[in-house]
A and B are shown apart, each in its own frame.
Chain A
Amino acid sequence: MGSGDEGGRIELEFPARAEYVALARLVVSSMASTRRDLAEDRLDDLKVAVSEACTNAIEAHGKADTDDRVVLRCEELDDRLVVHVEDRGRGFDPLSLPQHPPVTDPDRLNFERGLGIPLIRTLVDDVEFLSSGEGTAVRMSMLCGPSASGLVDLDDVDEIGDDPFDGTQELLQ
């Protein structure tokens, strides 16, 4: 993959119903798992982020009472995976989300919702929310490759020499 145009791209339109969130996770994780340069724990992070974004999209369609489908798009670029989730809800202001009381406050237990967007922000490498009265587009990026995790891929170590320890030495030099 040289230009970034050669990577995969999958688009899925699904009905705004709860049972489709598992399918959205499966599509993204299947595409992500084809990349050896995305660590397994990052794949888990991405699955949670996709689930949160799709759950919010479905809820937005419910509130707006629309039959439109939610759009999920997963793009594979050289150094990252980018997942878009687009809804036709009424939108929200990502900068003015209600704040929860601190976790040590007993009132915290009155809040069962509102954890999704903070989770997305923490779990992915980059996220953008574009929202208007006609819908919301969430764009989440997950960096791939050695620079993303700082870990040596053991498969690459094997390719350097027959003895993996020799390979490790070379990498360390």
Chain B
Amino acid sequence: MDLDLDVTERNGVAVLAVKGEVDVYTAPRLREKLVELVTAGQHRIVVDLEGVEFLDSTGLGVLVGGLKRVRSHDGDLSLVCTQHRILKVFEITGLTKVFSIHESVDAAVAG
């Protein structure tokens, strides 16, 4: 099972595009990438979930961990997601109130 992680920089913000399925098998790679970005001093991160085909609570947990990490450096981690099936797990768990979720990378980078 593939998980593609691609980082680009836009106006000083790291945009992490995630493609594939995020579950207990692949989520550790997402966590490592987020830790790597924060360790490298990147505290403003946008995670683009538009290419994600599946995401469960293990993936949610990694994103919550990433948000906590950047906030401890006064940074922010926001999301890009318009897919109903992915948004649904954020809504059920109440995490739509924890993350700022945008419709496009442009909107997320503009904050």
Tell me the chain B residues, 33-48 only, with Cβ under 8 Å from chain A: none
Query: Is B56 interfacial (CB 8 A cutoff)?
Result: yes
Evaluate contact between B64 and A18: CB separation under 8 angstroms.
no
Evaluate contact between B56 and A116: CB separation under 8 angstroms.
yes
Chain B contact residues, CB within 8 Å of chain A: 1, 21, 23-25, 54, 56-58, 60-62, 64-65, 67-68, 71, 84-85, 88-89, 92-95, 97-98
Complex contacts, B92 vs chain A, CB 8 Å: 118-119, 122-123
Can you offer 6 A-B residue contacts whose CB atoms are under 8 A?
A21-B23, A25-B54, A44-B85, A55-B57, A110-B68, A118-B93
Evaluate contact between A119 and B65: CB separation under 8 angstroms.
no
Tell me the chain A residues, 3-19 only, with Cβ under 8 Å from chain B: 18-19
Evaluate contact between B61 and A103: CB separation under 8 angstroms.
no
Query: Is A51 interfacial (CB 8 A cutoff)?
Result: yes
Complex contacts, A119 vs chain B, CB 8 Å: 56-57, 89, 92-93
* Given A103-B98, A119-B89, A109:B57 Cβ within 8 A: no
Evaluate contact between A109 and B67: CB separation under 8 angstroms.
yes
A79 to B67, CA, bound (A): 42
Complex contacts, A113 vs chain B, CB 8 Å: 57, 61
A122 to B92, CA, bound (A): 7
Evaluate contact between A22 and B23: CB separation under 8 angstroms.
yes
Complex contacts, A58 vs chain B, CB 8 Å: 24
Query: Is A115 interfacial (CB 8 A cutoff)?
Result: yes
Evaluate contact between B54 and A51: CB separation under 8 angstroms.
yes
Complex contacts, B95 vs chain A, CB 8 Å: 103
A113 to B24, CA, bound (A): 12
Tell me the chain A residues, 109-150 only, with Cβ under 8 Å from chain B: 109-113, 115-116, 118-119, 122-123
Checking B54, B84, B93 against A115 with a beta-carbon cut-off of 8 angstroms, the contacting residue is: B93
* Given A103-B95, A103-B97, A119-B89, A18:B24 Cβ within 8 A: yes
* Given A19-B1, A41-B85, A48-B89, A109:B56 Cβ within 8 A: no
B31: nearest chain-A partner, CB-CB: A112
Complex contacts, B84 vs chain A, CB 8 Å: 41
Evaluate contact between A22 and B21: CB separation under 8 angstroms.
yes
A47 to B53, CA, bound (A): 11
Query: Is A108 interfacial (CB 8 A cutoff)?
Result: yes
